[in-house]
Structure 1
Amino acid sequence: MIIPLELRNIHYAKTIKILNILSNGGAYMQPPVIVIEYDELTLSDIGKGTLVEITFETEYRMNLDSHIRDVWIAIGVLCGLGIILALIQTCIWHSRAGKQIIDLGTIGKFLLYIIHIVGTIFFIVMVGVSLWWLIFFKRPGSAFLVIPTSIQQTSFTVLVVVTFILKSLDILHIIIRQSNIDIFFMDWEKPKSNDITDVSVWRTYFVANEYSELQTFRRVNSTFHIIAVLFFLKVINLENVATAQPGTNLFPSSSNYNADYNGILRVGIAFSMWLATALVQYLVYVIFYQRFVEDRIINFIDLCSVSNISVFILMDNQYGYYIHGRSPHGITDVDMKEMMINLERESQANSGRRGLETNSDDQIFIIKVDRPVRSQYDLLLRSYQHRILTRVNKKIEERESEILLVSYRGLNEFLCAFINRSLPTYPYTIRHRNLFENLLNCEFRTANTSELLDHTESLFLIDHDRNFSKTIFAGYENSLFIWNTATFLFVDYFASNYVLAAIITYLLNLIAVQIRQSLGQQNLAKKTLIPKSFLI
């Protein structure tokens, strides 16, 4: 019997997929749909004993439109509240900047606050959704939630991308803002003779260099943080929690079925590790290291007192911080023996206290200066910058040194006299922040008796919370943590590679640190009248 040619091929089921569709939030399951893909096998292949691969898989789907809608409703509500918060922060900044009208700078600041707040909202929603999916999808015993399809996952992809972009812009704003503050190191040291030049400048240079190193200080070490996250994800194999199948097997054998990874689940487990390791590191630093080893911020304040140097900072036009470093001993440019004697007297309470007020230890203040103080500060600082810019050539280095010395003395004498209350036209009051000021992070200043002359007193608010750290990276620990995490999650979401994500996160963080350090040193040299060559 001759078999017709068209009958010499055999059809077989190459792929069998059982599609299960859940409804009513996973409470019910519709009748399954079986999808079969066929292929052909010739009789000659059968005679040769050819082996073919047959795939069998089960896929669960459900309508996630309501979940996606709820996510965007939450984002809309939170962003609406965020815009109100951004408006409040802009009003506070407008007051601190001493502005009278709403200009382009005010509008730009409002947009920057929106970027910061909306970026944080997107980050919170992103990690919240990923953790919710991770918990309920991996929950054993019931099919409550399924992995979304690529089309259903589009909204989550938007969250990941927008979060990374907005938080990167936010960090760039923080770096630029911190690198443009007005800062001056006030020297309280008096000359030992009638020669006013008989005062060592090395104390000022030393304090300036310590502040320069402090600019990029963080309580959470980013390098250790990244290594710890990789250890949990790759060594302990918590990465396998992100497989697109219920249940968890951290160390599957080669014979077991290994499902593909899912981007949402990878975000969830990675964020969990970032948060856990950051919290542990922060608590260890605050509870143990800061108390029993060293507190770099307090050490810097102690250095100011030992050096007889105060730090005057204006982050905005009329708002900033003051660190009172005036030594209770009057003179600190002494030999080692005299310094040890002074410290011993201080430890035994046989000398004055370090605080700005009598019998006080308060050295850190939030300040809000009035317009006359700011105008005089700008006048003295610009006099040096104007003279340098109008030099005929760069050969007159001695002349430049004289200009620098005169300008430095003028600004130093003005600020010292202002702090000493030796200038009746520039009064200020010292007080604690009230409850509303602490809650809103703002300052309420009332006009004095000369209100008709549009004159107000400057404010010195005792800063127990070390808000001074807002001038360095340590004051924005939360923003930096969110940015580092968002960078890691962004890279891994598209590359599905935790190691690559860690490398890129480390490099971007290193670039941010280097930019902040470089711009910070340039700003110190420009604003403190200290030559950049003396900043290490």
Structure 2
Amino acid sequence: MQATATCVLANYDEDNDACKAFEYLKASNALNSVDSNEEWVRFLPGLFYDRGDQAITRAAPSIPFTLALPMAAGSRLRFLLAAYSLNGTYLGLQELSDQLQLCPGGASDPSAFLNVGTDLELACEVPALRLLSQRTDVVLYDMYLYYDETGEHSLTPIEELGRACAQGGASTTSATSPPPPGSTTSAASSGSCFLYPIPVRVTNYKRNAQVVNKPGGLTTDDQLTRRFYVLDAVSGVSAGGGGASSGKLPEAVRYLRSAKLTIIVKSNDGTPSQMLPPQLEIEYADIIKPAAATSPLEFEAELERSGVIAPALFRMTYTMEFENSDQTINMLFIIAIVLCLILSAIYVYVLVQRTSGNFGDYHRVLCQVAGAFATVFFFLLYFICTWWMILYKAQNELFFFMPVARPLDSMYMVGPWMPFQVFIIILFIAQCLQMIDLLLVQTQHDLFFIDWEQPRSAGVGAKDEEDAGEKIGGGSTPVSVWRTIFVANEWVKLQDARTISSELSLLVLLFVQEGLGLVDAIRLVPKGNGDASTPEHMLLRFALSTGLLLAASLSQYLFMWAFWQRRIKDRVWQFVDLLAVTNISCILLEEKHFGFYLHGRSAHDHADADMAQLNANLKLEAESLVTTRGFTPDSNVQTYEIYLSRRMREKYDAAFAGVLYAEPTRRPPPGRRNGYGERSIFLEDTEGRFKRLLLAGREYDVVMFMVLTYCLFDMATQNTYIAIFFAYIFDFVLRAVRSELASRNIAAKTLLDDRFLL
């Protein structure tokens, strides 16, 4: 009927005259309703579902059709379109392939989305000539999902489908003609074959001038409909101009701006291959004809000149219910919270102990808690996303699909409590706080060098041309400061020493993910890679990129630790050896009462010697003809953790107060007394924990910062190149700032002029 078609073309607007006429005819024949469905009366098509109908909500029963991965029965969906003309003439059934895709040449296989699990997304600007391609008639569609009980007719051509299905049972309904047009509650059958009507959610639908089907997903107050169209270039032609048959341009063209077909698989009833009724969500848009256009070519040229575009989108999505996964993630979430609290308590306890109970830097507590939070929840997210990626890509039988973003805010939910995008931002901020704490500790700690060198007597090593005024007391020469300057410069060089190269990690990521094409593995295709028309998934991208970065960083660390630093060189431990050669020790105070002592007192009489004497000293050590370098007799350990007593710390503060600080430090209020607080304690540090004051000892934090920076920008841009660029810039700035601040701190705390530090 003409009223039916016009109502559909008006997007079911209840204020439209055609829709009012349809409602009047429906009310007049209310006694002739079919199957007690007041929305479907005889001699009229069933356009609407009952308001508040639960047909495609989670309460709906699953369709008795078993899904499977490709190459198995049930691996390809089959949708049929019942086509009608404007006057209601039935035009036959069509196989759904690319009827909903207005983008020309958008996919190598436009029907690939019918393969179970293969998502498809096509977006483009529709050419104006494409919009004007149907100016004589409009085709209206009712969509059905075809399935049969045995699966034997899944590949039967549509022309033979009716006869083949009728042979499987006594039903006389032909599958090549549409089922009763208002059959909205159950599938129409023909023998063993079934056509399930697909409900349509038109986001343009209005009731009393109010939008009913608001963005945000299906709710029980939405109005679901049955019939839709793709392109309308007919109703916009004025009747005075001869109507559609005149060939004149329409005043407006209405087209399918967005079509989203969603398949939701059930997972909470022991039958994960059963699906809920599919849902088709569509949105229409209008293009107004430019006043100067008199032909299709002018129509296109004027639109281009005025900057008017016609965007179009087709999206096929496969997803599933996540009730079972949510329960597991809830338990992991609770465990993560408990673990975070435990780690935070341990960090705070250690901080308090290292300050002998006089702890007042509460901002450090915040930074330590933030670091624990970033660590625990980052690996929780990574574990869940990697777990999902393995399930999705390695499944041999269909049982898992990836989650979809929430319609309102496009958030991907990892469990009921963790919106992925929000958590990545929070984790990045938390890690930034951790890096601030790292900068404060590594660039503001106290350090000083102890030069054990003794003055030489006047007759030893003094040259004839030396001025007598350079001698101390007329009987000895002063100790040269150049060894201290040299050692300080070597310590400055170690400030940016790294075990892991951020640049190499990022290059490995770029090469593997983009160069080798591994990025195609994150496309929404089970057990395989997709093409450009197959959308990527943010959580799969996070799992892949993070895994590659962590693997590249861990591989570097293991190589450096197991081979390079043992067989080639370790710059940090070489510095410890240098201290022994130069006869200089170093004290590094990470906290007020805690730090490290690097013992460098030489076993020789003098370290300030010429090359011959230096080689002779080293030869004596190699032949074990002198005492060992260790702090204690018969020990080679040169590095120690130290705990300073209050008295020792007060003497240090008093000695340096007038030089290092603007005003003398006051004695802190008495705190609680501990036994170890009354004496200084030295503990052997054979593992090199003093590296904590260098980037080389905080590799984990630096790598975490790089990874989270990459993840943040990759999430925002979905572009590997941009994310790598910003990750490198942030890492470079961090190292540059830290190196500069550390150099200034070394100059200030060692009382050396910064002009001597290169």
> Where on the TM-score scale, by shorter chain, does this alignment land: which range?
0.7 to 0.9
Distance 1:142 1:343, change over 3 A: same
Deviation at 1:176, TM superposition (A): 1.1
- Could you tell me which amino acid in structure 2 is paired with residue 500 of structure 1? I
SS of the residue aligned with 1:333? coil
| Correspondences of 1:419-498 after superposition (within 5 Å) | 446=675, 456-498=678-720
User: Structure 2 residue aligned with 1:24, among 267, 276, 294?
Assistant: 267
Q: Which amino acid aligns with 2:431?
A: K
The question of whether the paired residues in 1 share the 8 Å contact of 2:267 and 2:322 is answered with: no
Task: Say if 1:238 and 1:278 are closer, same or farther in 2 by CA, change over 3 A.
Answer: same
| 2:467 counterpart of 1:190 | no
Alignment-derived partner of residue 143 in structure 1: 398
Separation in 1, partners of 2:262, 2:482: 77
Q: Are 1:62 and 2:320 an aligned pair?
A: yes
Note if 1:531 corresponds to 2:758.
no
Distance verdict in 2 for CA 1:351–1:257, change over 3 Å: closer
2:184 matched to which residue of 1? none
**Aligned counterparts, 1:343-492, within 5 A:** 343-385=618-660, 446=675, 456-492=678-714
Q: Give CA deviations for 1:292-316 in whole Å, capped at 9, x if unaligned.
A: 2211111001111111110011111
TM-score, normalising length: structure 2: 0.56
Is the CA contact (8 Å cut-off) linking 1:183 and 1:524 kept in structure 2?
yes
Q: Secondary structure at the match of 1:326?
A: coil
Q: Which consecutive unaligned segments of at least 5 residues does structure 1 have?
A: 41-47, 391-443, 448-454
For residue 446 of structure 1, report the CA deviation from its aligned partner.
4.1
CA–CA separation in structure 1 for the residues paired with 2:477 and 2:444: 30
**CA-CA distance at 1:111 after TM superposition:** 2.1
Q: Deviations over 1:69-106 (max 9, x none)?
A: 64354233322332233223222211211234xx652x
Deviations 1:469-491 (A, max 9, x none): 01111111111111111111111
Higher relative contact order (CA 8 A, sep 6+): 1
Work out which of the residue numbers 233, 241, 247 in structure 1 matches 2:527. Answer: 247
Pick one of 138, 141, 144 that aligns with 1:10.
138
Q: TM-score, normalised by structure 1?
A: 0.79
**Kept in 1: contact 2:336–2:380 (CA 8 A):** no
How far did 1:248 drift? 2.5
Is the counterpart of residue 264 in structure 1 residue 539 in structure 2?
yes
Report what 2:378 is aligned to.
Answer: 123
Distance 1:55 1:487, change over 3 A: closer
Matches within 5 A, 1:170-249: 170-193=434-457, 195=472, 198-249=478-529
Compute the displacement of 1:60 (Å).
2.0
Alpha carbons of structure 1 residues 28 and 199: separation in structure 2 relative to 1, 3 Å: same
- Identical aligned pairs, as a percentage? 27
Shift of 1:321: 0.2
Query: In the aligned structure 1, how far is the partner of 2:543 from the partner of 2:343?
Result: 28
C-alpha separation between the residues in 1 aligned to 2:515 and 2:586?
47
Q: Which has the larger radius of gyration?
A: 2
Measure, in 1, the Cα distance between the counterparts of 2:569 and 2:314: 61
Letter in 2 for 1:523: N
Q: 1:257 to 1:531 in 2, by over 3 A?
A: closer
Relative to structure 1, the CA distance from residue 309 to residue 227 in structure 2 (aligned partners, 3 Å threshold; closer, same or farther) is same
Q: Deviations 1:186-216 (Å, cap 9, x if unpaired)?
A: 1011111362761111111111111111122
Cross-structure match for 2:742: 520
State the partner residue of 2:278: 33
Worse overlay, 290-299 or 358-367:
290-299
How far apart in 1 are the matches of 2:399 and 2:332? 22
CA contact (8 A) 1:75 1:121 kept: no
Q: Aligned residue for 1:76?
A: 334
Alignment partners' CA distance in 1, 2:314 and 2:353: 67
Question: Is residue 126–residue 160 contact of structure 1 (8 Å, CA) maintained in 2?
Answer: no
Verify the 8 A CA contact 2:747 2:754 in the aligned structure 1. yes
Cα contact 2:521–2:528 (8 A) shared by 1: yes
Match of 2:352 among 69, 94, 98: 94
Cross-structure match for 2:560: 285
Aligned to 1:179, what secondary structure does the other structure show?
helix
- Residues 32/332 of structure 1: CA separation in 2 closer, same or farther (3 Å cut): same
Structure 2 residue runs without a partner (length 5+)? 7-85, 88-135, 141-228, 231-255, 286-295, 297-310, 414-418, 458-470, 665-672
- Which residue number corresponds to residue 165 of structure 1? 429
Q: In structure 1, what is the Cα distance between the partners aligned to 2:433 and 2:620? A: 50
CA positional deviation for 1:28:
3.9
CA distance in 2, matches of 1:31, 1:314: 64
Q: Which amino acid aligns with 1:299?
A: Q
Deviation at 1:67, TM superposition (A): 3.2
Letter in 2 for 1:153: Y
Alpha-carbon distance change, 36 to 515 in structure 1, aligned in 2, over 3 angstroms? closer
Q: Deviations over 1:423-442 (max 9, x none)?
A: xxxxxxxxxxxxxxxxxxxx
2:509 aligned partner, one-letter code: V
Measured after TM superposition, the shift of residue 172 of structure 1 is 1.5
CA distance in 2, matches of 1:82, 1:55: 43
Counterpart residue number, 1:408: none
Contact 1:19 1:32 in 2 (8 A): no
SS of match in other structure, 1:138: helix
Change (3 A) 1:277 1:85: closer
Q: For 1:308-352, what per-residue CA distance to the aligned partner results, in whole angstroms no more than 9, with x for missing partners?
A: 110011111110000000111131100001000110111011111
Shift of 1:144: 2.2
Deviation at 1:175, TM superposition (A): 1.0
Q: Report the CA distance shift for 1:89/1:18 in structure 2 as closer, same or farther (over 3 A).
A: closer
Aligned residues: 458
Q: Secondary structure at the match of 1:130?
A: helix
Shift of 1:34: 5.3
- Confirm or deny: 8 A CA contact 2:583 2:607 kept in the other structure: yes
CA distance in 1: counterparts of 2:385 and 2:279, whole angstroms: 30
Equivalent residues of 2:644, 2:680 under 8 A apart = yes
User: Quick one: distance in 2 between partners of 1:331 and 1:481?
Assistant: 43
Q: How does 1:283-362 map to 2 (within 5 A)?
A: 283-362=558-637
2:400 is paired with a residue whose SS is coil
For 1:29, the aligned partner's letter is: Q
CA distance in 1, matches of 2:283, 2:337: 51
Give the structure with the higher percent helix.
1
The CA deviation at 1:389 is 7.8
Mapped to 2, the partners of 1:197 and 1:529 lie a distance apart of 22
CA RMSD of aligned residues (A): 3.1
Partners in 2 of 1:526 and 1:70 — Cα distance?
A: 54
